[in-house]
Chain A
Amino acid sequence: MSPPAPAPDELRLIEAARSGDLEAFNELVRRYQDRLYHVAYRIMGDHDSAADAMQEALIAAFRGIRGFRGGSFLAWLTRIVTNACYDELRRRRRRPQSSLEALFVVDQGPEAEMLLPPVEGPEFYAERQELADWIHRAIQSLPEDQRVVLVLSDIEGYSYEEIAEILRVPLGTVKSRLSRARARVRDFLLAHRELLPGTIRPS
């Protein structure tokens, strides 16, 4: 779950990208785009906004690659994607009709073809999918700051310290936002307990 150690050729690709080699940068993009997209999707809540934020973030990342000062390249990209998501959410707030639309258009969660193939039987897969949709809704109900920390921690597996570094916030802020976010998701799921699939609802 934690960010992978830099591959031996990653530094070479980063160096090439820094000197303007777009193909080298795109090789890095191909390596990380699934994980970055997952972050964007869980923060934004729908595929169109996630794709917009990704696109904007990656172009900004290529333009600003000289700002990368070593460390985990994935963490650096995650920071830029997260910032792009914040920008997109801010823009959405400035367009009230869009957020009104969002109230009525409930995203049905990830489409089946975008999911990794199920390993279990079809019934269990369907239940797991239903639960995943509820958790997705619960995450979308969180305030932005809490949502971002929850996604980075419990979906992407970053440590508290890494999240503090990515978001440039104090460690204590990460802890308290995560604590509140988890409690809120739990309360949301408990409030809809009777709608959750039977075999996997909280006892």
Chain B
Amino acid sequence: MPLFRLKVDEHRWVQDRLSLYLDNRLEPEERARVEAHLRGCETCARSWETLRWTVQAIRALPPVRAPRSFAIRPEQVASVSQRGGWLRRAAWAMAATLILVLGLDLILSRGPAGPAPAMAPAGAPATEAEQQALRALKDHTLTPSPAPMFGLSVPQPAPTEAAVERRPGAEEVPPQAPALPLSPLRALEFLLLLGTIGLLALDRWRSGRLR
């Protein structure tokens, strides 16, 4: 029934434009079409009357006064300006950590001979235990063996002793580390970089909402 369908679509078309018609925002020919339809269609005319009544009632809502003064106190601005910049400060803190980690990575990547002088504080002599551990570590790295991989099934005295004596700085250069596709340090650097960019972007978005 194409005629019926056309009729239904005309109701829909008019209903969709009643709000614009009310605000006098229709083109002259559209307005004429709406008015012609409203003259002949009781349903849409009633729809129009109730819509007009509703909008009038909304516009007549009594104004609500602010229940108190919203003037800002100086301490509110101070506390918020500290809180407000936290995103940017977190981003800078993360960037600083990234630089530290990059520095550490650079030092460690100089090879097994590097760590001892680089990690020890200037002038502080290495302890006997440290020297022993380093020696054990050097011996161990110079004679590569599958031992650490199967450490549980084939216990070997020298590497085990070295592992026990090892200091935190020396732990960063296990013999199999260079073979890993992504070292934990690299992963950390990547995460820190992503975090820094993310925080800066969030900070920019927040300040953009004030423009």
Determine the distance from Cα of A42 to Cα of B62 in the docked complex, in whole angstroms: 11
Residues facing A in B68-84 (CB within 8 A) are 68-72, 74, 76-77, 80-81, 84
Interface size on A, residues (CB 8 A): 56
User: How distant is A22 from chain B, measured CB to nearest CB, in Å?
Assistant: 6
A41 partner, pick from B16, B57, B64, beta carbons under 8 A: B64
Determine the distance from Cα of A95 to Cα of B107 in the docked complex, in whole angstroms: 48
A contact residues vs B (CB 8 Å cutoff)? 1, 22, 25-26, 29-30, 33-34, 36-38, 41-42, 47, 51, 54-55, 58-64, 67-69, 80, 83, 110, 114-116, 128-129, 131-132, 135-136, 139, 150, 154-155, 160, 175, 178-179, 182-183, 185-186, 189-190, 200, 202-203
Query: When the two chains form their complex, are residues B58 and A114 in contact, meaning their CB atoms are under 8 A apart?
Result: no
Residue B201 CB within 8 A of the other chain:
no
The 4 closest A-B pairs by CB, nearest first: A64-B210, A179-B19, A37-B66, A26-B71
B70 partner, pick from A47, A54, A110, beta carbons under 8 A: A54
Residues facing A in B51-98 (CB within 8 A) are 51, 53-55, 57-72, 74, 76-77, 80-81, 84
Query: When the two chains form their complex, are residues A80 and B210 in contact, meaning their CB atoms are under 8 A apart?
Result: yes
Apart from A68-B211, A179-B20, what are 20 other A-B pairs with CB-CB below 8 Å? Answer: A29-B71, A38-B63, A51-B67, A51-B68, A55-B70, A62-B72, A69-B211, A110-B62, A115-B63, A135-B57, A136-B61, A139-B58, A155-B58, A160-B23, A175-B19, A175-B25, A179-B18, A185-B58, A189-B57, A203-B53
Interface size on B, residues (CB 8 A): 40
Query: When the two chains form their complex, are residues B54 and A185 in contact, meaning their CB atoms are under 8 A apart?
Result: yes
Query: When the two chains form their complex, are residues A160 and B74 in contact, meaning their CB atoms are under 8 A apart?
Result: no
Query: When the two chains form their complex, are residues A63 and B67 in contact, meaning their CB atoms are under 8 A apart?
Result: no
B contact residues vs A (CB 8 Å cutoff)? 15-16, 18-20, 22-23, 25, 49-51, 53-55, 57-72, 74, 76-77, 80-81, 84, 207, 209-211
Query: When the two chains form their complex, are residues B61 and A63 in contact, meaning their CB atoms are under 8 A apart?
Result: no
How many A-B contacts if CB must be within 8 Å?
Answer: 133
Contacts of B60 in A (CB 8 A): 128
Determine the distance from Cα of A36 to Cα of B72 in the docked complex, in whole angstroms: 15
User: How distant is A157 from chain B, measured CB to nearest CB, in Å?
Assistant: 8
Query: When the two chains form their complex, are residues B61 and A132 in contact, meaning their CB atoms are under 8 A apart?
Result: yes
Knowing A83-B209, A160-B25, A186-B50 are in contact, say whether A116-B63 is a contact too (CB < 8 A).
yes
Knowing A22-B74, A58-B72, A202-B54 are in contact, say whether A114-B64 is a contact too (CB < 8 A).
yes
User: How distant is A83 from chain B, measured CB to nearest CB, in Å?
Assistant: 5
Query: When the two chains form their complex, are residues B66 and A67 in contact, meaning their CB atoms are under 8 A apart?
Result: no
User: How distant is A39 from chain B, measured CB to nearest CB, in Å?
Assistant: 10
**Nearest chain A residue, comparing its CB with the CB of B59:** A154
Query: When the two chains form their complex, are residues A114 and B67 in contact, meaning their CB atoms are under 8 A apart?
Result: yes
Query: When the two chains form their complex, are residues B66 and A115 in contact, meaning their CB atoms are under 8 A apart?
Result: no
Contacts of A114 in B (CB 8 A): 64-65, 67
Query: When the two chains form their complex, are residues B50 and A190 in contact, meaning their CB atoms are under 8 A apart?
Result: yes
User: How distant is B50 from chain A, measured CB to nearest CB, in Å?
Assistant: 5
User: How distant is B27 from chain A, measured CB to nearest CB, in Å?
Assistant: 13
User: How distant is B170 from chain A, measured CB to nearest CB, in Å?
Assistant: 47
